[in-house]
Structure 1
């Protein structure tokens, strides 16, 4: 099974999630998304797997969220996705994808649903 983690090495939850994957013997492709941000189509795919809306995947406490007025309810899903593509710090982390499913590792133990015993 291919496993991908969208990871920020400066985030403790992201580091813990990666540690849990390693402890389970899972070999994952690590995408440091601040260095290599996902494109709009990839984000749409992740949102579909998560069964979430764009704003649900956004870090609303980031300064750029306020600066861009992303709480504006009139913004479309496309506009919110574009904001994340152009400002990847807005993307909640970590995101783990496996077997056509995805979870946000907050808390890191959430990833267990992707790897049944």
Structure 2
């Protein structure tokens, strides 16, 4: 089962570290993708967004300075363009993202991960 859980992780992020700890406390070891070192491809991002059932904007980290520098608040950007920006600037990916057989979501707050972990 643990092989079925993927955590897009930033070890510098307290919420991301807490989510990892909660997964491990459940007795699972996720596949960890340090997305700043190994950025997801556009296709991977597209799949994550599709699995979440949300627009690309829902995975953007609006507080990152590069978000403002690129003018990403402007609604002129298409979904494909926004995906391109995340590929070019992976720091824009809101974190942590967890994908499991029970769903995919940005786990912020950290307790959101509980719904993605198998019970008992």
Task: Indicate whether the TM-score tops 0.5.
Answer: yes
Distance in structure 2 (CA, Å) of the matches to 1:101 and 1:88: 22
Paired residue secondary structure (1:112):
helix
TM-score, reference length from structure 1 = 0.96
How many residues in Structure 1 have an aligned counterpart in Structure 2?
A: 117
Which residue, 98, 102, 116 being the options, matches 1:96?
98
| CA displacement at 1:57 relative to structure 2 | 0.6
Structure 1: gaps (5+ residues): none
Query: 1 CA distance for matches of 2:116 and 2:63?
Result: 28
Segments of 5+ residues of structure 2 without an aligned counterpart are none
1:12 matched residue in structure 2: 14
Deviation at 1:116, TM superposition (A): 4.1
Distance 1:33 1:115 in 2: 21
- Stretch moving more, 19-28 or 99-108: 99-108
Whether contact under 8 Å (2:23, 2:117) holds in the other structure is no
60, 63, 73: which one aligns with 2:62: 60
Shift of 1:27: 1.5
- Give the TM-score normalised by structure 2: 0.93
- Is contact 1:49–1:100 with CA below 8 Å preserved after alignment? no
What value does the CA root-mean-square deviation take over the aligned residues? 1.0
Q: What is the alpha-carbon distance in structure 2 between the residues aligned to residue 63 and residue 34 of structure 1?
A: 16
Paired position in structure 2 for 1:72: 74
1-side partners of 2:78 and 2:34: how far apart? Answer: 27
Query: How many angstroms does 1:10 deviate by?
Result: 0.3
Shift of 1:59: 0.6
